[in-house]
Amino acid sequence: MLRSVDYGESDRVLTLLTRRFGKIGCMARGARRSKKRFGGVLQPFSLLAVEIEPRQSGMPLLHSALIVRYPERIILSLERVSAGYAGLELVRELTPEHEVDDAIFELMLELLEALDALDGQACSPAALLVCFEARLLAIAGFEPMLDACGHCGKKAKATQRARFDAAHGHLVCASCGGAAIGKDVLSGAARNALIHAAQGAFQEAAGTLDAADLASARYAMRSLTEHRIGHELAADALLA
């Protein structure tokens, strides 16, 4: 479940990411008034088995929902909860409705499972989130160009610092006006981690980010995301 919004006196409007139909909205009648109606099943981070009734007009109705898997350890840490909510919001904002994509569905499950299993040594929730974001952007068709200047095509050395232009999603070399100073500059290590994450291994990439690289990577990916969706993410208030 990506989002739950109260509606009227007793209902809830849900946004679900489904394997069969992609992202969909539905109405859960009486979900707020009756504890027996859904029995506390409609929780964030839950993997659900649902029965939904389509309607000719109006929003589909949720008839039943059962928890298949719930990553209960996420709620033990504010950092994990914040990263989890941000992940849900990223998928909600970057995924078109009714467009089936198994890669995004599996990626969302992988993030929640990784946050649930996190032991605090491999990496931080924030590192998992930024590498998840890089992978999600790539799947959604917005993969950043982090190995070369988007203007002249000049390749950046593996260890080279380079400015990232979030509005266009690519690096800008010094010859094209990209001075390697400022908060929009990525180190070679940060670029390599994000490239690795975008290609698929986001958990492995998250473990390579130190504090400084994590801060610049977060700024770059979040700037790119917000440019694509046209507004700031609400989950950033929690992360702050």
Q: Which domains does the chain have, with CATH numbers?
A: 3-69 (2.40.50.140), 72-239 (1.20.1440.120)
Per-residue pLDDT band for 56 (boundaries 50, 70, 90) equals confident
Q: Which range (11-20, 52-61, 124-133) has the least confidence?
A: 52-61
27 C-beta neighbours (distance < 10 Å), count? 19
CA–CA separation, 220 vs 166, rounded Å? 6
AA letter at 51: E
CA–CA separation, 122 vs 120, rounded Å? 6
Q: What is the pLDDT of residue 237?
A: 67
219 C-beta neighbours (distance < 10 Å), count? 19
* Residue 215 φ then ψ, to 5°: -60, -45
Question: Is residue 239 scored above 70 in pLDDT?
Answer: no
Please write the tens of the pLDDT for every residue from 201-238.
999 999 999 999 999 999 999 999 999 999 999 887 66
> In terms of Cα–Cα distance, which of 70, 68, 74, 69 is closest to 116?
74
The two most distant CA atoms of the chain are separated, in Å, by 65
127-146: average pLDDT:
97
Question: Is residue 12 scored above 70 in pLDDT?
Answer: yes
16-28: average pLDDT:
95
Q: What is the pLDDT of residue 15?
A: 96
CA–CA separation, 13 vs 81, rounded Å? 21
Question: Is residue 5 scored above 90 in pLDDT?
Answer: yes
| DSSP category for residue 169 | T
Q: What is the pLDDT of residue 178?
A: 87
Q: What is the pLDDT of residue 61?
A: 95
Higher-pLDDT residue of 223 and 37 is: 223
CA–CA separation, 36 vs 45, rounded Å? 21
52-80: average pLDDT:
91
pLDDT more than 90, % of the chain: 80
CA–CA separation, 136 vs 111, rounded Å? 11
Q: What is the pLDDT of residue 38?
A: 83
Q: Are 177 and 150 in contact (CB under 8 A)?
A: no
Per-residue pLDDT band for 133 (boundaries 50, 70, 90) equals very high
CA–CA separation, 45 vs 109, rounded Å? 9
63-79: average pLDDT:
92
> In terms of Cα–Cα distance, which of 62, 72, 66 is closest to 11?
62
CA–CA separation, 116 vs 155, rounded Å? 38
Q: What is the pLDDT of residue 120?
A: 67
Q: What is the pLDDT of residue 179?
A: 81
Q: What is the pLDDT of residue 146?
A: 97
Q: Catalogue the E-assigned strands of 21-86.
A: 22-28, 47-53, 61-69
